[in-house]
Structure formats: C-alpha cells, structure tokens
Structure 1
Amino acid sequence: MERVSVGALGEHRLEKVRQGVRREHDAESGRPLSVAIMGQTGVGKSSLLNALFGTRLPVGDVKPGTCEPRAISVPGNSGHMLTFWDMPGMGESLSADAAYLAMYRERLADSDVVIWAFHADSRSTAADARCLRALLTGAGHDARALLLAKLTFVLTKADTLTPPPWIFDMRGPHGTFLPSPELAARLERKAAHFERAFLQPWGDLLGAATYTTGQFAIGDDRLGFDGHAVRYRGHFSAEVCDAYRAAHPEHAAVFSRLRDDHRVLPCSALFRYNLVRLMVSVVNKLGPAAVFRFQRLLGDVAELASVPVEAMREYGNFLVWDGVRGVKAFDLARFPL
C-alpha cells in the first residue's frame, strides 16, 4: 500500500478547501440579482418599471393594477440577469395588508436591493412607517441592519408637484424635464422630510458602502475601507456628506455615492425625471461586482431621460377659454416650437 505523508495529506485537504471556495465564488458571481419595488397602492410602482424598461405592466387608475408579484428580468454583461419585482401595494385593505406583509417580508429577505416608493405629493408617513417597523420586528440587530441596508427610498410622481413650474430643455425633437430652482428646493424639502421619518430613527442600524478604485486612504471611527470598497457606519446624512467633502474634496465622488445610499430620490415615470440616477443608485448598491456586471445596462439607460417634444406638449397644455366671447383665448398646441 502506498504511504501518504502528513504534508501531502495536508495539501490534499487544502486543495479540497480551495475547490470549495472556487465553487462558492463561481455560484455567487453567476447568480441572478433581484430588486423589489414596494410601497402603498397607487404610488406608481408599475409605471416606474414601465418607464425604465419599456414594458406594459397593467396600471390601475381606480383599482390596484398589481395583485401579485410580477417579475421583469434584464440581462447584464456576460449573461448576468437582474430581476425587478413589482410588488402589490400596501393600504388596499386591512385583510390584504396582513397577507401582503408576509409577502413583503419574504421578498425583502430574498432581494438584493429594495426600492420603497412614496407618492411625492404626500406628507403622510405613518402607514409606511408602521409597515417598515412590522417588517423589522422580531429580527435581531444584525438581521435588521442587513435588511435596512437593502432599502432605497424614492418619491414617485414628482410631476404632480406644480407650481412652481417644470422646465423642459428642448434639444431638437426631444428634450428633458428639469425642476425649476423653486421646485427643486421643494423636492429637496420633501425628500428631507421622508429621510427624517424613515432613516433617521434607525441611525444606529444604518451603514453605507460604495466601490473605490483603491486610492481611498481615510480612516476614522466611522469610516472603513479596503482595496475595493469604502464603508460608513451610521446615517450618512447630507450634513455628514458635506463635512467629509469639505475636509477631503479629492474624494468627493466617493462621498456622493455613500450619500446616495441614504438619499431619498424624487423621480417621475411620466417626465422620465431621475430615472438614470435611480438605476445608477440601484446598481451601485448591489455592490462592487455588480457595477461591472451591469455596466452595459447602465449604458443602455443613457437615453432614459429623453422625452419627445410632441409627448411633452400633451403633459401640460392649458387651454384658456374666453367665456364671454365663446372662443379660445390661448391654446399651447396652436403655437409651433
């Protein structure tokens, strides 16, 4: 019988461990990633997915259009898949909410990123706050921190906020919608209100992370880094971001990405406003590997903000009727652009 040395046996075991690590790495790097979109009924979750991917998910103006989870899968580089889950909306009824809560909890655990949508033209936070608290109840400290790290909060239907006016930057037959300075300030105040309600109370469980090129070398009690990522422990608020950027302007882009982890992002499916920024935020939050795995997807959404001029004319056309003379006093559709 052939004798096996202790050294050879140790090397054999080490090789078995290496093979196991390689298998786990290959399985992890090849697995599909998923993003769930959650929120109350009527906030425009399906409309947001339709705008992002040109799909035709049913949208209900009166009754909820989504009664069960629906998936949209899009390919990234080298065949990697990213699946977006359109979830039923909370707030339809108490009985439905009880069933949806279990569904939300399961999807929150399974998803890599969760977009939580609020209606921009609302100040109410109580129902969503109760839902978030219920989803986190019973989980341990680390589990709650992991779940909170997945959340990205957005304000949908920002186009409903007017006046002040929106600006349409026309470039030939297409253009992009931008909020006027007064409206941008209003959107910032709205976003800050929701950030205080949904992020600030969980500050001790929060953390932010982003990729780095390896040149980052700043350490303090809350910042940590390695050759691939920078991490912050706590709520990376606007004030925290401003302080770091002032102290280390050479790393302003890193701090901006960390800020995006905790920023409430206003957007509009109708005006296609901030859709690119939303996609970039989601991919960044998926982790350093995802930035490269879905670089093609980010390239594909470069035109997401573009709106045809003819479509724009239908969105905000005021017709002024002179009731005394019985004629049109003003009709934007009659004026060439």
Structure 2
Amino acid sequence: MSQFANKEDKGRDLVKDALEILPENIRESIYRRINDVISYEPVIGIMGKTGAGKSSLCNAIFKGDVCAVSNVEACTRETQEIRIQFGKRAVRLIDIPGVGESAERDSEYEHLYRDLLPQLDLVLWVIKGDDRAFSADEHFYKNVLLPAGGEAKTLFVLNQVDKIEPFREWDVTHARPSPAQMQNILDKEAYITQRFGFTDHPVIAVAASEGYNVTHLVEAMVRALPKHAQSGVAAQVKDEHKTATVTEVATEGFADTVDKVIDELIEATLPKPVAIVAKAAKKAVVSGIKKAWSWLFG
C-alpha cells in the first residue's frame, strides 16, 4: 500500500471516529457528504495574452503529474482542461485563450467566458510585467467578468517582473528586484489596480521563472478560493509554497465547510429535540475532523 493510501486511510478513520458522537442514523449521510468535500477537485481558470507566462506560472506553483484531459466541451480548440494530480488529490486547470489577440474572436471569447465562469473556483488573470496595453483586458474584465459575477473570483498576477525596467538591475543571485525595479513594480501594481477598478484581491507581482514571490501568490490564491476548494489546491502546491498560512487558511476553510454540511443534514434529518442535542455536539465533531486535515491534504 502506498504512503498516500496509508495517509488517506488514517485521515478517513479520524473523520469516522469524530462522527461517532452523532446519532447513528445520520453518520453515514454526513460521512458521504464530507467525502465529497475531501474528493472535490478545484477548477482554476488561467487567462492572459500569449507570452504572459501562464505555463511557467503553473509549473512554478503546482507539483504532480500534468496531463491534458480534453478540450472543454462547446469551447474553442485553444481552450484545454489540464488535470494536475499528486497522490490522492487533484486540481483542474482550464487554459483560457488570451483576450485582445484577434478582433474577430473577441465576441466568441466573451460568450466562452460567460459560460465558463460559473464552473470556475478562481481565475488567475496573468499580465506580462512589461505590457503597456491594457485596453482589451480592461474591456473584458469590466464588460464580461464583472457582469457575470467574476470580481470575487479574479486574482490578477503581474508576471515576469524581472523584465520591468531597469531589467539589467535584476539581482540574479538572490532572485529579486533591485530597489529601482521594486519601485516600478509597486507603481505597476497600483496602475493595474486603478485601471481595473480596485479589485477584490490585491495584484500579486511574481517572476515565475525566477521563483520570485510565488509563495506569496499561493497564499493569496488560497485566501481567494471558496472554502470548499482551498484544501484541494493546498494539497497540490509545491512543498516550498505550503506555508503555515496556507495550511491554516485551508484547514479553517475545511472545518467551516464540514460545519455547514453537518448543520444542513442535522436540520434536514433529525426531529427538533434530537437536532438540538446533535448541534451541541457539533463543535467537538468538527474539532476532531480538523485533525484529519494533515492526513488528507498535508
């Protein structure tokens, strides 16, 4: 039996043990629902113009085996779903065509994004560090993603900041910008924030190929994800990015999701007097299930 199977079994045993104090007639239903949470595969859209470094960014963030699953149904041939799996957990990435690259395709892409957005837990909108043309991106964000409810789902990533002037000053030894570059990076972040209308999440500047600031991006991603998707992503990021912050946010998100699941089933299944007793035990149940997180996703 593999190490992943051993950890998985240990985690599931902890979940079952924690459920023992609940009424027997709802334990199996709750366990099945929690299993759905554990097995959930987050879906992340990666969008941006050609040359923005989407592939290098994904390679810098995620571990595991990458394989193309299929073209997304009813979409253009350029839009592909990629599944990344390490151990028992997996993440699905949808590589979305860049905006503003073909005037005749912009209308087609608008329909594509509107159809895709409800399926996505998060959108990473990758912008090249030295790009100065934002009108097409701005149009799509304000006229397509915002009306479709994408504001809370969109995280802007300023990539390849090692190419921001004065690019010859990039500190190669320590993989970080010079003071002059850092100021220009901050100015660029502020400019993007202003152009796109003060987005829900802060703009994150990285140099994926240099490994610069990728951990900070991963922390921002986990915070931006819906709670039920945080643990699945945390399980797939490279170990060097799985910080205490990532683990804490994902663990709390998992606990909150489990809490909601238990609440819903107690209210839907049990008579009121029994439900009151079950809800009183819920805090201890959730606390016990939280202990399974590191076995299931760590």
TM-score interval w.r.t. the shorter chain? Answer: 0.5 to 0.7
- SS for the counterpart of 2:36 is helix
Would you tell me which structure has more strand in proportion to its own residues? 1
- SS for the counterpart of 1:81 is strand
TM-score, normalization by structure 1:
0.53
> Which of 163, 172, 184 is residue 168 of structure 1 equivalent to?
172
Partner of 1:178: 176
1:277 aligns with 2:281: no
1:264 aligns with 2:203: yes
Matches within 5 A, 1:94-133: 94-133=103-142
Partner of 1:193: 191
Partner of 2:6: none
1:47 aligns with 2:51: no
- SS for the counterpart of 1:105 is helix
> Which of 80, 87, 100 is residue 70 of structure 1 equivalent to?
80
Q: How many residues align?
A: 210
Partner of 2:153: 150
Letter in 2 for 1:68: E
Letter in 2 for 1:152: L
After superposition, the Cα gap between the structure-2 partners of 1:105 and 1:41, relative to the gap in structure 1 and judged at 3 Å, is farther
Indicate conservation of the 8 Å contact 1:265/1:278, yes or no.
Answer: yes
Farther-moved stretch of structure 1 (29-38 vs 160-169): 160-169
After superposition, the Cα gap between the structure-2 partners of 1:17 and 1:130, relative to the gap in structure 1 and judged at 3 Å, is farther
Write out per-residue CA displacement over residues 33-61 of structure 1, whole angstroms, 9 at most, x where no aligned residue: 0111112333222332344458899xxxx
Letter in 2 for 1:166: W
After superposition, the Cα gap between the structure-2 partners of 1:270 and 1:295, relative to the gap in structure 1 and judged at 3 Å, is closer
Q: Hey, which bits of structure 1, 4+ residues long, moved more than 3 A?
A: 14-26, 50-57, 136-139, 287-299
* Higher RCO structure (Cα 8 Å, ≥6 apart): 2
Query: Gapped runs of 5+ residues in structure 2?
Result: 1-22, 68-75, 243-298
Indicate conservation of the 8 Å contact 1:42/1:89, yes or no.
Answer: no
- SS for the counterpart of 1:185 is helix
Indicate conservation of the 8 Å contact 1:284/1:290, yes or no.
Answer: no
CA distance, structure 2, for counterparts of residue 72 and residue 93 of structure 1: 24
Q: CA deviation at 1:286?
A: 2.3
After superposition, the Cα gap between the structure-2 partners of 1:22 and 1:43, relative to the gap in structure 1 and judged at 3 Å, is same
Letter in 1 for 2:239: D
TM-score, normalization by structure 2:
0.59
After superposition, the Cα gap between the structure-2 partners of 1:98 and 1:106, relative to the gap in structure 1 and judged at 3 Å, is same
Write out per-residue CA displacement over residues 309-335 of structure 1, whole angstroms, 9 at most, x where no aligned residue: xxxxxxxxxxxxxxxxxxxxxxxxxxx
CA distance, structure 2, for counterparts of residue 85 and residue 95 of structure 1: 22
Q: CA deviation at 1:25?
A: 4.3
CA distance, structure 2, for counterparts of residue 25 and residue 138 of structure 1: 33
Write out per-residue CA displacement over residues 104-146 of structure 1, whole angstroms, 9 at most, x where no aligned residue: 222222111100111211333221111112224654xxxx2xx
Write out per-residue CA displacement over residues 221-264 of structure 1, whole angstroms, 9 at most, x where no aligned residue: xxxxxxxxxxxxxxxxxxxxxxxxxxxxxxxxxxxxxxxxx211
- SS for the counterpart of 1:159 is helix
Partner of 1:89: 98
Indicate conservation of the 8 Å contact 1:159/1:270, yes or no.
Answer: no
- SS for the counterpart of 1:83 is strand
Letter in 2 for 1:160: K
- SS for the counterpart of 1:177 is coil
After superposition, the Cα gap between the structure-2 partners of 1:280 and 1:41, relative to the gap in structure 1 and judged at 3 Å, is same
Indicate conservation of the 8 Å contact 1:101/1:135, yes or no.
Answer: yes
Indicate conservation of the 8 Å contact 1:71/1:84, yes or no.
Answer: yes
Q: CA deviation at 1:299?
A: 4.9
Would you tell me which structure has more helix in proportion to its own residues? 2
RMSD: 3.3
CA distance, structure 1, for counterparts of residue 35 and residue 66 of structure 2: 34
Letter in 2 for 1:82: V
Of structures 1 and 2, the larger Rg is shown by: 1
Q: CA deviation at 1:167?
A: 1.0
